[in-house]
Amino acid sequence: MRRSSTDESTYRRSPSPPGKEPGFARGGPFFGLHANPGPKAAQARYTSPKGSKYVVFYLDLSFIFLLELKRCSMARGCLQGVKYLMFAFNLLFWLGGCGILGVGIWLAATQGNFATLSSSFPSLSAANLLIVTGTFVMAIGFVGCIGAIKENKCLLLTFFVLLLLVFLLEASLAILFFAYTDKIDRYAQRDLKKGLHLYGTPGNVGLTNAWSIIQTDFRCCGVSNYTDWFEVYNATRVPDSCCLEFSESCGLHAPGTWWKAPCYETVKVWLQENLLAVGVFGLCTALVQILGLTFAMTMYCQVVKADTYCA
């Protein structure tokens, strides 16, 4: 059934003012319906610079976050690797200190002041040196182990400083030794000759045992000559350890039955012949210390980096 023109005019809208659109043409609601936006509104919406800036900003933040996350993961991975390497190194360091300390205690308990040759420094015995060295090495290794496993910057820096001081002290002593070799030789011979007067006296078992072992093993007698013992005994006599064939009171026999080589020069020649082994030992010791310094500083830097970027 067709509507009449009068009915149709009821729904016909009046003309809009120029330049204005009806509500539903702008996308507003009209009886609950939303009209599609016009081409100009769509173009304005898609080319809005404000929305594009927000999108780019969010993408930049996400990219930076991913980069920082990757950097933190790599830093943590490096830190864990250095951590376990340093822990293993310091564990071996600590075990070595335990071994040195054990040998020193065994020497002190069984041999007394073994290898005490100097009268000026009676406490400078092999047992005491080993005990002090072993204790110090154990302490440094313990600090390094705890600092590595706890990732403690203070302990790592303390380990680095202590090991650096030991390394510098050893290097200084080596330089001074080679710079003043002649003076050290004269002083050592004079002090050793003074120590001969303590041979066989009560309370000097370590010095007596040390001279007996040296003269027997190196087949020598006295510091610079076998006549050094004449001043000790005030007679033409030497200890029985100077005899070519050991027997009771053989030191009272004729000089033809005694060793003639001076012990100081004999031991010095032996050290020069084994200079390669001594040098390798010193080089290995220095390399171990340098390796410990490198591990400590590397781990310290990794801990600082991890705390800075991943806090």
Q: What is the pLDDT of residues 236-293, one digit of tens each?
A: 889 999 998 888 888 887 888 899 999 999 999 998 888 888 889 889 988 988 988 9
Residue 11: per-residue pLDDT:
42
Q: Looking at the domain assignment, is residue 57 inside a domain?
A: no
Query: What's the average model confidence in pLDDT over 168-187?
Result: 90
Q: Looking at the domain assignment, is residue 278 inside a domain?
A: yes
Q: Looking at the domain assignment, is residue 92 inside a domain?
A: yes
Q: Is the pTM of this model over 0.75?
A: no
Nearest to 158 by CA among 141, 135, 170, 134: 141
Residue 271: per-residue pLDDT:
87
CA distance 306 to 72: 7
CA distance 282 to 171: 10
Nearest to 264 by CA among 191, 209, 208, 207: 191
Nearest to 148 by CA among 291, 287, 300: 300
Residue 266: per-residue pLDDT:
93
**Number of separate domains in the chain:** 1
182 Cβ partners below 8 Å, 6+ apart? none
CA distance 100 to 125: 14
CA distance 87 to 286: 19
Q: Counting every residue, how long is the chain?
A: 311
Query: What's the average model confidence in pLDDT over 217-242?
Result: 90
Q: Looking at the domain assignment, is residue 281 inside a domain?
A: yes
CA distance 176 to 184: 10
Q: Looking at the domain assignment, is residue 304 inside a domain?
A: yes
Q: Looking at the domain assignment, is residue 86 inside a domain?
A: yes
CA distances from 15 to 5, 12, 23, 289, 301 (A): 18, 9, 13, 97, 79
State the residue range of the domain holding 304: 71-184+273-308
Residue 164 binned pLDDT confidence (cut-offs 50, 70, 90): very high
Query: What's the average model confidence in pLDDT over 43-47?
Result: 48
Q: What sign does the dihedral 299-303-305-310 (CA atoms) show?
A: positive
Q: Are 86 and 296 in contact (CB under 8 A)?
A: yes
**Lowest-pLDDT range of 8-17, 103-112, 152-161, 175-184:** 8-17
Q: Looking at the domain assignment, is residue 227 inside a domain?
A: no
Residue with tokens 């030991």: 166
CA distance 246 to 214: 14
Q: Looking at the domain assignment, is residue 31 inside a domain?
A: no
Q: Are 82 and 302 in contact (CB under 8 A)?
A: yes
Residue with tokens 């001074």: 176
Tell me the H-state helices in the chain.
5-10, 39-46, 49-110, 126-150, 153-179, 181-196, 205-217, 228-233, 263-273, 275-309
Amino acid symbol at 174 = A
Residue 180 binned pLDDT confidence (cut-offs 50, 70, 90): very high
**Which tens digits make up the pLDDT trace of 142-160?**
998 898 888 888 999 999 9
- 3-class DSSP assignment, residue 213: helix
